Amino acid sequence: MDKIFNLQQLINGIQLGSIYALIAIGYTLVYGIIRLVNFAHGDFYMLGAYAAYFTINFMLAQRQNPYIIFILLVSMLAGALVAFLSNRIAYRKLRYKPRLSALITAIGVSMFLEYFTSAIPAIGPSYRPFPQFISMVNYNIGTAYFTNYQIINVSISIVLMLILTYIIKYTRLGMAMRASAQDKDALRLMGIDLEKIIDITFIVGGALAGAAGLLSGLTYPRILPYMGIVPGLKAFIAAVLGGIGNIGGAVAGAFILGISEVFGYSINSIIGEGIAYAILILVLIFLPQGLFGKRTGEKV
């Protein structure tokens, strides 16, 4: 039993949970304001990874040193841009239509991004090795070990989450985002442009997903156009587990899911792969509002 439940699994679970958290925040931000489960969100993560891939390879070909902060900004910009365009082109016209229309459109946007990306000759449908532009360093704590990649992964995730928390809690923009989630009519009466707030919400969520794409490529060094499907679904489950619409809940749910998944893998790979879906079923049956969500008459 000690060989299964050990510090090594906890370290790996926290690292995996930090990636899920960045994606899950985007799900919960968008759902909190327009009640849309944006299944294309995992593809913003994929595009962030490809933006980093091409930028790093270009800089290495030019004999330049690709600094992690610069690559991070490029990934976030790519995710934010595609998220913004998705909202403007696909979702905005469906704002006051039945929710099922927007949900089906989100699935369509997701499939379009995946197949269109795989059709680009420079990308293709196959795996590509992600450039390891930072030398790997191993550290030990007793019998457990971790790498500088995992430190970078968790550190960047925490910094981005702290910045987002500050924006949401202490800025006028964050106040407007919270108000739009509670009472859109009151927001309009105060002269605040709701569509602008929604645009910014998509941009913030897409940027965080793009950052997750870079961190994933760095830690699991191979990428492909369909890489966002499973992590996107699991991040959605994390958001549901924490209480979709609740940012802190999404983060907590992501870490719980990441740690549970790694512990599951240490027992059996099938258990590890399926544990997220088992959690989703149990949450929807016994705790539909999630761990930190408010009880309503509506299930996600």
What digits encode the pLDDT tens for the residues 131-157?
988 999 999 888 888 999 999 999 999
pLDDT value, residue 299: 47
pLDDT value, residue 68: 93
Mean pLDDT of 231-253: 90
pLDDT value, residue 295: 61
Q: Which helix (H) or strand (E) holds 176?
A: helix 172-182
pLDDT value, residue 268: 85
Whether 95 has a pLDDT exceeding 90, the answer reads no
Render pLDDT for 3-59 as a digit per residue (tens, 0 to 9). 556 888 899 999 999 999 999 999 999 988 888 889 999 999 999 999 999 999 999
What is the Cα Rg of the chain in Å? 19
Beta bridge partners of 146: 139
pLDDT value, residue 141: 83
Whether 296 has a pLDDT exceeding 70, the answer reads no
What number of other Cβ atoms are within 10 A of residue 183's Cβ? 11
CA atoms within 13 A on the CB side of 191: 0
Comparing CA positions, the residue from 262, 234, 238 lying closest to residue 248 is 238
pLDDT value, residue 5: 62
Please state the pTM of the whole predicted model: 0.92
Whether 271 has a pLDDT exceeding 50, the answer reads yes
Mean pLDDT of 286-300: 70
Pairing of strands 144-147, 138-141: antiparallel
Q: Which helix (H) or strand (E) holds 204?
A: helix 194-219
Comparing CA positions, the residue from 99, 88, 114, 86 lying closest to residue 34 is 99
Whether 266 has a pLDDT exceeding 80, the answer reads yes
CA distance 284 to 299: 8
Please list, in sequence order, all residues whose beta carbon lies within 8 angstroms of the beta carbon of residue 206, skipping any fewer than 6 positions away.
26, 41, 44, 79, 80, 81, 82, 83, 84
pLDDT value, residue 33: 86
Mean pLDDT of 270-295: 86
The amino acid at residue 173 is L
Mean pLDDT of 207-216: 96
Whether 225 has a pLDDT exceeding 60, the answer reads yes
Render pLDDT for 106-116 as a digit per residue (tens, 0 to 9). 999 999 999 99
User: SS3 helix, strand, coil % of the chain, rounded to 5?
Assistant: 70, 5, 25
Render pLDDT for 170-205 as a digit per residue (tens, 0 to 9). 999 999 888 888 887 888 888 888 999 999 999 999
Please list, in sequence order, all residues whose beta carbon lies within 8 angstroms of the beta carbon of residue 24, skipping any fewer than 6 positions away.
235, 236, 238, 239, 242, 250, 251, 253, 254
